Amino acid sequence: MLTGLTDLDLRLIRIFLAVADAGGITVAQTTLNISQPTISAQLAALETRLGYRLCDRGRSGFKLTEKGERFLALAKRLLAAVEEFGDEARNLDKKLVGTLRIGLIGHTPISQNARISDAIAQFRRRDEAVRFSISVWSPGELEEHLLKGDIQIAVGYFWHRVPTLEYTPLFAERQIAYCGRAHPLFKRAGAVKPPAVADSEWAWRSYPVPEAQIPVRPRRITAQADNMEAVSLLILSGSHLGYLPEHFAAPYVEQGLLAALNPKLLAYTVTFHMVTQKYTRPSPIVSAFIEDLKHAHGGAAT
């Protein structure tokens, strides 16, 4: 039974992770540059140290056991902590040391992504040795990961407010209703009145949208998607109408594949927010990046 971690244990765990990520010993040979018998022997040694089997391997293929699945998640957290410890130990002379975990919503306007990049560049000019970890999720997932502590800062649009989270406005994005080239309304696009689209088939978001701002609530939502790319495919098919960010739809409009139904009447604006934990005092790293992010947005965030 594993009672204390040694350098050998860490090596065996890394080999196990490589095999699990590769989906089998044969594929992992190239990554590890170790022979198949040696990998098998080292997996067996790790299982002996642990006292239980991590995976089934043989002619039937490679498959993690139930305990192997749980150990995989635990091992990933362990090695991430070891790497973070090493970073901090090597950079104790720096003012800011650690990991900054940021969550973003997909398909943010290019101009706003540039501002986030500006914030990162500004942050990198500080006396720091910080590892950035950036992930992309839906609005609900961003809030969930913030509450669990998986990320420290999120940027996206959110229709409801979680009491324990702090929402700071950053910028606005315009959403417009579009149709595809094969849709019957395409030739009339640009001046389509709201009543004319109420009974059309729509592609809608699988996460909440600000219904109070939407000019016409569709009666026939026959498709759902959880990201802009999927919604655009449904609209491009010519079978559905749907809302897309103006910047995202622009290339398709230029190619004549999409057309805005009525930019004045069938559109709404959403506000992007920076979200953090409300009742948890931010670390110096988080505080510094928030300052740089606000500065990159021209001090609009208050």
Three-state helix/strand/coil letters over 52-107: CCCEEEECCEEEECHHHHHHHHHHHHHHHHHHHHHHHHHCCCCCEEEEEEEEECCC
What is the Cα–Cα distance from 120 to 131, expressed in whole angstroms? 11
Q: What is the mean pLDDT of residues 201-216?
A: 72
Percent of the chain surpassing pLDDT 70: 90
Identical fold at 96-170+271-296 and 172-269? yes
Domain locations in the chain? 7-90, 96-170+271-296, 172-269
Please state which CATH number belongs to domain 172-269.
3.40.190.10
Q: Which residues pair with 179 in a beta bridge?
A: 259
Provide the pLDDT for residue 88.
66
Q: Residue 20 corresponds to which tokens in the numbers above?
A: 């699990």
In the predicted structure, residue 137 carries a pLDDT above the cut 50: yes
What angle (nearest 5°) sits at the alpha carbon of residue 247, between those of residues 246 and 252?
85
Where is mean pLDDT largest: 112-126, 201-215, 240-254? 240-254
State the pLDDT confidence band at 298, using cuts at 50, 70 and 90: confident
Neighbours of 169 (CB within 10 A): 13
Provide the pLDDT for residue 100.
94
Find all residues with CB under 8 Å of 230, minimum gap 6, and list them.
none
CA distances from 62 to 30, 51, 67, 275 (A): 16, 19, 14, 41
Q: What is the mean pLDDT of the chain?
A: 86
What is the Cα–Cα distance from 100 to 115, expressed in whole angstroms? 17
19: three-class secondary structure by DSSP: helix
DSSP for 202-263?
EEEESS---GGG-SS--SEEEEEESSHHHHHHHHHTTS-BEEEEHHHHHHHHHTTSEEES-T
Give the pTM: 0.59
Where is mean pLDDT largest: 6-10, 139-143, 187-191, 298-302? 187-191
In the predicted structure, residue 302 carries a pLDDT above the cut 60: no
Q: What is the mean pLDDT of residues 80-91?
A: 72
Say if CB 54 and CB 16 are below 8 A apart.
Answer: yes
| Amino acid occupying residue 162 | V
Say if CB 273 and CB 157 are below 8 A apart.
Answer: yes
Is 7-90 a CATH 3.20.190.10 domain? no
Nearest CA to 8 out of 48, 67, 62 is that of: 48
CATH of 96-170+271-296 among 3.40.190.10, 1.10.10.1590, 3.90.1150.10, 3.40.50.300: 3.40.190.10
